[in-house]
Structure 1
Amino acid sequence: MLNRCLTPFLSLILLAALSVNADEAGESAPPQEVQDLRYGVILYHYFQQQYFEALTETLVGEARADMPYHQASAKLLRGGMSLSYGMGRQSEAVFTQLLTTLDDSQTRNRAWFYLGKLYDQQGNIAEAKKVLANISANDLPTNLLEEYQFLRAKLLLNDGNVAAAKAAIAPLSANSPWRAYFYFNHGSRQTLAGQWRQGAATFKKIANLELESEEGYLLKDRAYTASGYAALGGSDFESAINDFLKVRLDSPQVERAMLGYGWAAAQQQNYQRALSPWQALSQRSLMDPSVQESLLAIPYLYEKLDAKASALSEYQKAISIFEQELNNLATAVDSFKQLPLLQLVAEDEGLGDDWIMGKDYLPINNQTPYLSHLIAQDHFQSAVKDLSDLIKMQEYLQQAETRLSGMETVLATQQRIWQDNLSQSQREAYRERYQQLLLLQQTLQQQQTLADGEKASGRRFISQQELELWTIASHAEQLIQQLKDAGYDINEEQQQLRLYQGLLYWQASESDSERRWQYKKQLVEVDALLEQTAQRLQRIESLEATRYNDAFAKDVLALQTRLSARSRDVTKAITQAEQDIRQLSINELEKQQQRLSYYLGQAKLAVARLYDAGSAESIP
């Protein structure tokens, strides 16, 4: 599958990211020191197979620019993980931006190779050609060089340039498995063009390769089956039988080979020889189209052997089986239309974070046998993996919402504590000080107003000591007046008092201007203190009222908005993915219904024909 083939790619990217080049060094390189903390976290998650966390940390690190020593290495990892996640455009953007600036040509060419391979598997031939054109074959290791040559030959074959394709595949080793894939592609194109003998000969080239692995055995089984049908199409029936006989009995191709064997023998009019493989085939799983066809082929042979009663019996048996299977298929279709998808596509281990390693998804339910052909196809596996990734993404978003809710709780608690602290300490202190200054300001303003309305006698701003002297002078004046009223001679005392009062007036008058200036200065200072205190009190009240509007609270609010939007997007994508998988499954079941309906119709027509024609045998 797609992700499985990309497993070595991530190993390559990680190797490049850690600056290890064992191909050139010829020995293990020493461990590389991680100089950025975040890059160490990325590697930790990566080796724990927590790829989503690794990818997230990489994106955060790039956004915060906190990986000055490992920025390029982190980008390489991000490109690799994005590619394995199926995000080809993003990975291409990363590689285009980064790899063209790398000095390591081998790493750059490997990255382009796997990107081209991905495009080829996605059917994006134009992009695959463009990407593979960036590769210098001399900088690819041997194991990748052969696959690169196969990809080039395959693309040339798709263009119809057979000679160039053969030239591209020529440097491959004699027993390279990539030769087998090329021969199979070439043979398939030849048979599609009606070149039966040439196609069969091309398929048989695979049999001559020394492929001693399970993959090799499967390739040979497919090649023998394909060459058998090509020979059958070219009327070389004995060669077809010989090819079909070479397919292993435990091979996934054995049903098609058994069916082809029977038809080749039937074309030779050797009906007894054809009957044996078809009877054996009819005992296998009815889900296989070859088995379904054998149920009609057997009575056909009986008719050819002039065993009308046996033919009629087999046709009736086939009708019963087809009707039962059509009922089962109808039930399956209803199930896929009505039941939740995850009840139909169940998984024994749940949806894990193992998309890089590429485990196939195997639906487990009563409808599974009817989808065996569909399940084995890449596009169905890709659709189910996409759904798995989306559900995993939904789980991550739900976890993020939980963490965000915790942040909001912390902010609310912090706000409450802040309000309590302000109300019990600073706020009351500033309010009391403000009231005191306000009272002092009013007193000073009143004194200033009175002073401005008086003549400049100097007595408005006298000091406390001077005030006491004026009090003494005033008391002396009262005593002198009393003595005068009593008839005493007080002329000398009055002169002395006037002299004393004159001195006091002179002293106050001399200091009046400076004292008035000092008084105004004091009033200005009180005004300034009062304004400053008012501003601080207003700031405290503003902080209390707008505590949630600080930078962190705004970030939390923005994150909540983004998270809600992403959650809606993922939910919508999950719904669409479920509909796509459901429709794929229903389409497959309906194809089977159409095929079985056709077989059922053929069987009923055969029964009617046999009844109409009569039979020399006893027909019940």
Structure 2
Amino acid sequence: MKLSYHPLKTANTVQRKGFRWPRSCALAFLLSVSAHNTSYAFEWFGLFGSDSENQPTAEQPKKPVLIDQPHAVEDLAYGDLLFDFYQQKYFSAITKILVAKERGQLDHNREHAELVLGSLYVSYGMLERGEAIFNRLLNTYTTQKGADESWYQLARIYYKQGDAKKALSVLTNNIVEPVETRATEHVLLQVLCHINLGEVDQARSLSQFLNTEEPLSVFVRFNLGAALSQLGDMGAAAGYYEDVLENNQASDETDMTLLDRSALSLGIYYLQSNQLDLAEKTLNKIRLFGPVANRGLLALGWAHFESDRKIDALTPWLELSSRPLSDSAVQESILNVPFVYEELGALQDALDGYNNAYKTFQTQGRKLDDIKAEIMKPDWIEIISPADTTEMNVMNSAKAFELPADNAASQHLFQYYATNEFQRMYHDYRELQRLYLVLVHWERQIPTYTQMIQTHVERLNELAPKAERASLQAQKFYAYSRVKLDEFETKLSQIIADDDIAGTANVTQLAQQTRLDQIEATLKSMGDPDVYAEEWDKFRLLKGLLVWDLNAVAIEKRWQSTKDKVAIDNLLIELEGRIRALTSARQDRLTRFQGFETRASELQQRLNQLQELTAQTLRDQRNLMQKVAVGIIEKQQSQLDGMRAKALLSIARLQDLAYMQERDRAKQDDESIKIELEKEPGTTTEDSDSAEESESAENLGDVIENIFSDD
């Protein structure tokens, strides 16, 4: 009986569609594995089919259902793996797909299962394996529009993971629709890929196909502005940024972030083009504590400063200087505040500010050294994102990264934590960790299998004497039965050859025959038959009745006996086979368990090798993450060193200015004294100036030495 799945009819008789992938192609849904559409369910009504389906019918080969169209869940294995997929147990779903393919359990939904497998490969970062599946499926089992949309989604993933070259290859070679008629976001992604690859001319040539008249999402409009700004067309880019600011109704954090970034880009453009009022107005739209707030405050301060309102520049810069030093904008503002004081003539405040800035940068550098030491600890990943590996279900999804807000390194690495690169490496790290736990789990099962094999062998050894006795008894019974069967066959053949109707008589008939023989003997012994004529007539009548009875059933009984002989012969043949099977069963089982034992030993060695390889890969993955994190900290240290050098040069500049002012004042005093007093013998004005300059230089050297004395 063929199992069938029928759409479930609701109470209002509205028939729901079968299981369907959202959007124009399944990939558009499956490639974002964490976002599932729960509006579609499996309809199990009619699970066991109907009576009409029991009738044999000639099945016609059906055309494969397009995988981007509604389809029925016909294979139980497919429904089972989809259940795990929607429970976000992706590792288990992959396992079930591979097992179902190996066992041939996907007769009707094989292409759909392959699509799920390819999408899961993509979600786990195995893009090449996923792309290989899509290459085979999308050109045959989808509409052209669905295939183009799917390739675009895959190209987006390549682009997000930093492989612009591969993304561009997919967009160029796999999408059939001409570039002139493609959606704006498709062309825009190609432009961005060319820009990332440094192919500006190709990007400019494609920009003419950007259809700016069609309704675009705020994200696409922002990316259009970013792409045009990278191509050097800031005038056109400013138009898109203005459009984002004017027409976007922010409803979530993403929209508000786009508003902030648009305002920052547009404000910096106005600042660079000396449109200071527009720059100030635009920069004031940035949220005070948004992701680009620091750069916005820095730019707003420069807008005030360039507008010759230097005091107003102190407001955003002082606010900015109180924020964490991990941002380069904050570091710059710490130097900008004393620079404003210097421009306003408050030289002592400026000098104190530069001194404080230098000490602040110096302290921050020491903190970064401590953070580097913390990052290099072997358990750094577990410190910043702990996971209870002792209770980790190896078949569930790996634990997602959680930002450690209370960790000292977070404010320096939060941008790194948010990158695709880190998230992919962290995901791979957790997957390797889970794989290692799986290998440990399997290794722990090996002794159980070994013990099970030993138990079976011991049981076979215990049953061996009993089996041997049973085999001997069966052999004796077989020999005895075979002799008796041969005798029966000989006798039956003789009966058939002699047409002996009495040879197949039953017990009653044999008793009657014996009784008649005795009567006949008695009558013969009584003498004259005429005297006993009546008795002889009765005797002959009874004997005739017996002969008639024997003759009536003789043929049937001979045939039945022949059938019984054949049946007994077959039973003896089966018994002989059972005896041979019993005799060889122990050795066969011993050989089989020996094979199991050998396989278990090989698996033990393989598991050990895989554990060592996984552990080494796990360490390499952790070292890579630590190396990147340390590189970021060292880059920040390099920036701090530059800021310290700027602070030191500013201090030296002010000291030099103070020295020049003091020298000019001393010269004026000397000149006034020389007017009143005569010059001392043997001393020239040049010598006095040289001595004062030397003394001031020593003082400047002392200042610089004191600044570095804290090191």
Return the TM-score normalized by structure 2: 0.62
Q: Does 1:383 align with 2:454?
A: no
Structure 2 unmatched ranges of 5 or more: 1-27, 44-63, 476-576, 663-702, 707-711
Partner of 1:503: none
Matches within 5 A, 1:569-580: 569-580=613-624
- Taking the aligned partners of 1:591 and 1:203, their CA distance within structure 2 comes to 31
Give secondary structure in 2 for the equivalent of 1:101. coil
Paired amino acid for 1:173: P
- Equivalent in 619, 625, 637 of residue 581 of structure 1: 625
Q: Structure 1 pair 84/276, CA: closer, same or farther in 2 (3 Å)?
A: same
- Equivalent in 32, 36, 39 of residue 7 of structure 1: 32
- Equivalent in 406, 412, 415 of residue 457 of structure 2: 415
Q: Structure 1 pair 357/20, CA: closer, same or farther in 2 (3 Å)?
A: farther
The C-alpha deviation readout for 1:433-474, integer Å capped at 9, x for no partner, is 99xxxxxxxxxxxxxxxxxxxxxxxxxxxxxxxxxxxxxxxx
Paired amino acid for 2:100: G
Partner of 1:141: none
Paired amino acid for 1:135: I
Matches within 5 A, 1:384-463: 384-422=426-464, 424-427=465-468
Point out the more displaced range, 4-13 or 365-374: 4-13
Q: Structure 1 pair 37/408, CA: closer, same or farther in 2 (3 Å)?
A: farther
The C-alpha deviation readout for 1:248-296, integer Å capped at 9, x for no partner, is 2232111101111112332344311211211111122222221111111
Partner of 1:468: none
Paired amino acid for 2:245: A
Q: Does 1:151 align with 2:197?
A: no
Partner of 1:135: 175
- Taking the aligned partners of 2:299 and 2:336, their CA distance within structure 1 comes to 11
Q: CA deviation at 1:157?
A: 5.7
The C-alpha deviation readout for 1:562-600, integer Å capped at 9, x for no partner, is 544433332222111101100011111111111112212
8 Å contact kept, 1:282–1:292: yes
- Taking the aligned partners of 2:42 and 2:106, their CA distance within structure 1 comes to 13
- Taking the aligned partners of 2:474 and 2:395, their CA distance within structure 1 comes to 66
- Equivalent in 177, 183, 208 of residue 219 of structure 2: 177
Q: Structure 1 pair 211/555, CA: closer, same or farther in 2 (3 Å)?
A: farther
- Taking the aligned partners of 1:583 and 1:614, their CA distance within structure 2 comes to 46
Point out the more displaced range, 128-137 or 8-17: 8-17
Point out the more displaced range, 99-108 or 39-48: 99-108
The C-alpha deviation readout for 1:11-43, integer Å capped at 9, x for no partner, is 48998999999998xxxx7xx764433223212
Give secondary structure in 2 for the equivalent of 1:252. coil
Q: CA deviation at 1:397?
A: 2.6
The C-alpha deviation readout for 1:63-102, integer Å capped at 9, x for no partner, is 2222222221211110111111111011111111223221
8 Å contact kept, 1:332–1:367: yes
Q: Structure 1 pair 547/197, CA: closer, same or farther in 2 (3 Å)?
A: closer
- Taking the aligned partners of 1:373 and 1:63, their CA distance within structure 2 comes to 44
Paired amino acid for 1:420: E
Q: Does 1:204 align with 2:249?
A: no
- Taking the aligned partners of 1:111 and 1:12, their CA distance within structure 2 comes to 17
8 Å contact kept, 1:206–1:220: yes
8 Å contact kept, 1:7–1:356: no
Q: Does 1:51 align with 2:90?
A: yes
Partner of 2:355: 316
Q: Structure 1 pair 348/399, CA: closer, same or farther in 2 (3 Å)?
A: closer
Q: CA deviation at 1:116?
A: 1.9
- Taking the aligned partners of 2:584 and 2:328, their CA distance within structure 1 comes to 81
Q: Structure 1 pair 358/549, CA: closer, same or farther in 2 (3 Å)?
A: closer
Q: Structure 1 pair 370/9, CA: closer, same or farther in 2 (3 Å)?
A: closer
Return the TM-score normalized by structure 1: 0.70
Paired amino acid for 1:590: E
Q: Structure 1 pair 145/213, CA: closer, same or farther in 2 (3 Å)?
A: farther
The C-alpha deviation readout for 1:457-509, integer Å capped at 9, x for no partner, is xxxxxxxxxxxxxxxxxxxxxxxxxxxxxxxxxxxxxxxxxxxxxxxxxxxxx
Matches within 5 A, 1:215-614: 215-347=254-386, 361-363=402-404, 365-422=407-464, 424-427=465-468, 539=584, 542-543=587-588, 546-550=591-595, 556-557=600-601, 559-614=603-658
| Corresponding pairs, count | 505
8 Å contact kept, 1:221–1:251: yes
Q: Does 1:85 align with 2:124?
A: yes
Q: CA deviation at 1:358?
A: 10
Paired amino acid for 2:626: R
| Root-mean-square deviation over aligned CA pairs | 4.2
Q: CA deviation at 1:379?
A: 1.5
Larger RCO, structures 1/2 (Cα 8 Å, 6+ apart)? 1
- Equivalent in 138, 142, 158 of residue 119 of structure 1: 158
- Taking the aligned partners of 2:273 and 2:650, their CA distance within structure 1 comes to 29
Q: Does 1:38 align with 2:77?
A: yes
Paired amino acid for 2:175: I
The C-alpha deviation readout for 1:285-331, integer Å capped at 9, x for no partner, is 22222111111111111111110111112122222222221111111
Q: Structure 1 pair 4/579, CA: closer, same or farther in 2 (3 Å)?
A: farther
- Taking the aligned partners of 2:398 and 2:186, their CA distance within structure 1 comes to 22
Structure 1 unmatched ranges of 5 or more: 139-143, 435-531
Give secondary structure in 1 for the equivalent of 2:363. helix
Point out the more displaced range, 596-605 or 558-567: 558-567
The C-alpha deviation readout for 1:527-570, integer Å capped at 9, x for no partner, is xxxxx9999999567447534334x5565455445544433332
